[in-house]
Structure 1
């Protein structure tokens, strides 16, 4: 498995996957940002409908789609703060999408995407969430090869240089004896 994730020749493949994931998040979030039921004068109508659906799925049969702990979270935390979540989700989706498309703060974008995928799955909606989560994990395992063709390839060494005060491409000095 390691040969798949640490092979520099596969960087173009990881880039294509990263672009696809970014496009999925960006288009999903953009649609919500331009929907008044999410971020406009009718907010938080859309997310309240979603939350009500989550609670309905939690009360069906002996093995519901939504577990009781998540239904409790939705009813006690998310619903009272529905307007906050109505804005948080679209902006998080857009930011994750942009981060993945340009390869900037890629790891943070991937972790944010995985967090959103998990929440959608816990809410009883599958859609493309399992595939997106699996591909995000692949990109995390690929590490620097997932953003070799992105802003992070240049940004992260520069940030390391700022933090440590030395050129990241310079050889590491040997310890003094």
Structure 2
């Protein structure tokens, strides 16, 4: 359990780092539409291309804010949950649920990032799939503990 929590802590810190970069750049939300437009044509998933072109790009300000805050909230929930469970191996259910919520949010973000950008490079493909698998393992393991 301790080893998994240390891995989950590192996932939380990765989300925190990613979130920090988006907040401090000040251009993430305003630039998301342009970024999505650049990768749209080569996206291999026709249904996701349709989603990007008809929903995400026209509403890029909304989606940019959802990603920005989703990353931060997932990062805080995963990091805090993992630290609290490392300190107290038998936490109350609230701590477990916070960690599960953060992992679920991170998982959804990783799936969307993989669908949108996984085709752009092997590293983008790999890191999103790896984080998704780790988050699924964390969710399943913690659910079994409840």
With normalisation by structure 1, the TM-score equals 0.65
State the Cα distance separating 1:145 from its structure 2 match: 7.8
State the Cα distance separating 1:108 from its structure 2 match: 1.1
State the Cα distance separating 1:54 from its structure 2 match: 2.8
Give me the whole-angstrom Cα distance separating, in 1, the residues matched to 2:38 and 2:3: 37
Structure-to-structure mapping, 1:7-86, within 5 angstroms: 11-38=1-28, 43-45=29-31, 47-58=32-43, 66-86=44-64
Equivalence for 1:117: 110
Structure having the higher Rg:
1
1:87 aligned counterpart, secondary structure: helix
Give me the whole-angstrom Cα distance separating, in 1, the residues matched to 2:68 and 2:126: 17
Distance 1:34 1:143, change over 3 A: same
2:74 aligned counterpart, secondary structure: helix
Report if the CA contact (8 A) 1:117-1:130 is conserved.
yes
Q: Aligned pair count?
A: 125
Equivalence for 1:98: 76
Give me the whole-angstrom Cα distance separating, in 2, the residues matched to 1:124 and 1:57: 10
Larger % of helix: which?
Answer: 2
With normalisation by structure 2, the TM-score equals 0.78
Equivalence for 1:135: 134
Report if the CA contact (8 A) 1:30-1:90 is conserved.
no
State the Cα distance separating 1:111 from its structure 2 match: 1.0
1:34 aligned counterpart, secondary structure: helix
Runs ≥4 residues deviating over 3 A: none
State the Cα distance separating 1:144 from its structure 2 match: 5.5
Report if the CA contact (8 A) 1:22-1:100 is conserved.
yes
Give me the whole-angstrom Cα distance separating, in 1, the residues matched to 2:53 and 2:3: 41
State the Cα distance separating 1:127 from its structure 2 match: 4.7
Q: Structure 2 regions of 5+ residues with no counterpart?
A: 82-94, 119-124
Q: Deviations over 1:99-126 (max 9, x none)?
A: 0111041111111111111111111322
